[in-house]
Amino acid sequence: MKHIFVLSTWLIFCLSPALAQNATSLSQAIRYIKLANTLREVDKSQESISLLKRAMPAVQNKNPYWEAITNELLGLSYKDLKDSTTALRYLEQARTQYTNLKYVASGWAVNEIIRDISSKNIYAGIQIGTAGVKVAIFKTSYETDFYEKDIKTSFDIPNSGLTADLAKSLKGGQDALRIGLDSIQRYNIPAERTFIVFSSDLDQELARTPQNRQALYEQLVRVLPNGNLKIDTTLSPIREAQLFTIGAIPRKVWPTTSALNLGSSRTTGGYFDQDASRRNYTHANKAFHEISLPIGISTLVERIEGKRSLNTDAFKREAQRVIKTVADSALASQLSGLNSGLKQRRTVGLGGDVALALVSYLHPEKAGMTAVPILEADVAQFKHLVLDDYKALTQPDLKAIDNARVRSQAEKNIDQVQSRLSEKQLIVGALWLEAIMKAYNAGSNPKRFVFIRNADLGWVTGKFLETINNEYESTIAKGAMYTR
C-alpha cells in the first residue's frame, strides 16, 4: 500500500500541470476518468472528484456512456467521503443514464448502491409471542435474480407472563415493544419496512379471552410512535408455516428442500412445488404444502406432566411413552398426506431451540456456520446425554476452539439455549427430534437434516423476503427499475 501511495503521489505531481485543465477531448477525458478511479483505490477520493469534474465537460451531452461512468464515479467518491446527499445525486443520474442506454447490469449495480446508502435495504421485524418478543433487523442482498436476507442483529426480550397475568402482560408487553422499537430507530428504518405481528401461538392463546386480547392490543398500539406502524393480528398457523419456509429456505433450493420448525407450541413447516422458485410470490400460496401440528416442546411437557410435577426419572419414562404415541398418531398422519412431495426433497431445513441446543452443545466449534448438518448419530448422542449425562451435555469444553470470535459466539449460543430450555424441555426436545427424523426417513432414502441458524425468527424473515421480492417482480414485469 505504501508503494501504491508513493506511486500515485508521484503521478499526480508529474501530471498536475496537464490535469489542472478541463479535458478537451474524449480520449483525454477517459485518461482523467481512469486515473480518478485509481485514486479512489488509494483513498484519494477528493483528488478523484477534482479529476472527474475536469473530465465532465468533454463527455457531458456528448457521450452518454462515459457521462454515466463519470457520474457513477463521482457518486462513489462522495460516498467515500460520507457525503450521502451529493453521492445519491450523482448515482441517481448515473442510474437513469444506464437505464436509458439499456445497460441493465450497470443500472442494477448502481441501483443497489443507492438502496444501500439510503437504507432501503434495511428491514425490521418484531414478533410478539407467548414467551416474549423477538426482534430482528435485516439487510437485503441481491442474489441470483432475487433478494436474500443478511441478518444484522436479532435478540429476544423474555416476558413469560405475557398471557398468564393481564396486568403484567400489559406492562411487560409495552416495555418489550419499546425496546424493540428503540433498536429499530437507530437504523432509520422506514415504517413500510417494519413488520410487527402477534405470533399464531399468542393469537390462539388470547382467543380464549377476547377481552384480554383486545386490552393487550390496545395497550401495545399506544407504544407505536406513529400511525404508519401497524400490528398484524391475523397470522394463522398455516400462514406462519409458509412464511417460516420462505424465510428459512433460500428460494434457489426450494425444489430440493423442505422446512421444519420445532417451536414451543407448534411444529410447523412445509415445502413448495418443484416449479415454485420460478413463480411470482403472489401465487406462492397455491404452490405451498404446509406442515402444522399443534404440538411443540412446551405443549408436550404440559401433556406429559398434566397437573402433576414429576421428578426427573419419572418424567423421562413418561416422556418416551407419550412422544411415541404422538409420533405414531398425529405426526404420522400429518406426513402421510405429503409423503410424495417430501420424498422428492432430500434435505430438511431445521429451526427451533431444540436444534439450536443440539448444535450448540455437540458442535460448538461450528458457531460461525449458518447451516450445520445434523446426523442420526448426532441425535442419538444428544438423546443419550440428555437422558443419562445432562451435566456433561450442558457444559461442553470450548477450550479447543482456537478462533476467539467463534468461541465467544459459542458461549453466547450456550447461554441462549440455557435461558430458553429447561432440563425437561431438552428431554422432550431430544425425543421429539428423534421421532421426527425417524418419521421423515420411514420408507424412503435417508434425508439430510440441516440446522438453519436464525430460522427461529420465523415469519419475520419470510414476510420481508416476500414483500421485497413481490415489489421487485412486479416492477420488472412493467419493464421498470426497482428503486423502492
323-346 tens-digit pLDDT: 999 988 888 887 776 667 777 889
219 domain-assigned: yes
266 domain-assigned: no
Longest Cα separation, the chain:
90
275 domain-assigned: no
Percent of the chain with pLDDT over 70: 83
pLDDT of residue 6: 47
The larger pLDDT score, comparing residue 183 to residue 84, is at 84
- HSE of 59 in the Cβ direction (CA atoms, 13 Å)? 23
Average pLDDT for residues 353-372, to the nearest whole number?
93
Residues 155 and 210 in one domain: yes
Beta-strand relationship, 371-374 and 448-452: antiparallel
The larger pLDDT score, comparing residue 200 to residue 256, is at 256
Q: Does 23 score more than 70 pLDDT? A: yes
213 domain-assigned: yes
Q: Which of 97-106, 188-197, 205-214, 266-275 has the lowest mean pLDDT?
A: 205-214
Question: Can you list the pairs that 380-389 forms with residues at least 24 positions away whose Cβ atoms lie under 8 Å?
Answer: 380/434, 382/357, 382/358, 382/430, 382/433, 383/430, 383/431, 383/434, 385/361, 386/426, 386/427, 386/429, 386/430, 387/316, 387/427, 387/430
Residues 299 and 446 in one domain: yes
Residues 64 and 45 in one domain: yes
Number of domains within the chain:
3
270 domain-assigned: no
Residues 95 and 57 in one domain: yes
Residues 311 and 425 in one domain: yes
CA dihedral of 157, 456, 462, 340, whole degrees rounded to 10:
-160
Q: In angstroms, rounded to a whole number, what is the distance separating the alpha carbons of residues 63 and 45?
A: 24
Residues 127 and 111 in one domain: no
Beta-strand relationship, 257-262 and 231-232: unpaired
Q: Does 69 score more than 80 pLDDT? A: yes
- Asked if residues 27 and 59 have their Cβ atoms less than 8 Å apart, the reply is no
244 domain-assigned: no
Residues 55 and 145 in one domain: no
Helix (H) or strand (E) holding 53: helix 45-59
| Residue span of the structural domain in which 408 resides | 295-453
pLDDT of residue 476: 61
pLDDT of residue 173: 73
Residues 306 and 442 in one domain: yes
Residues 182 and 157 in one domain: yes
91-133 tens-digit pLDDT: 999 999 998 998 877 887 898 888 888 877 788 888 887 777 8
Residue with the three cell numbers 442494477 = 108
Number of CB atoms found within 10 A of residue 44's CB: 20
pLDDT of residue 142: 58
222 domain-assigned: yes
Q: In angstroms, rounded to a whole number, what is the distance separating the alpha carbons of residues 25 and 356?
A: 63
Residues 152 and 224 in one domain: yes
Which CATH number fits the domain that encloses residue 34? 1.25.40.10
Q: Does 14 score more than 60 pLDDT? A: no
Q: Which amino acid is at 160?
A: S
17 domain-assigned: yes
Q: Specify which of 102-111, 204-213, 258-267, 372-381 reaches the highest per-range mean pLDDT.
A: 372-381
Residues 49 and 179 in one domain: no
Residues 310 and 444 in one domain: yes
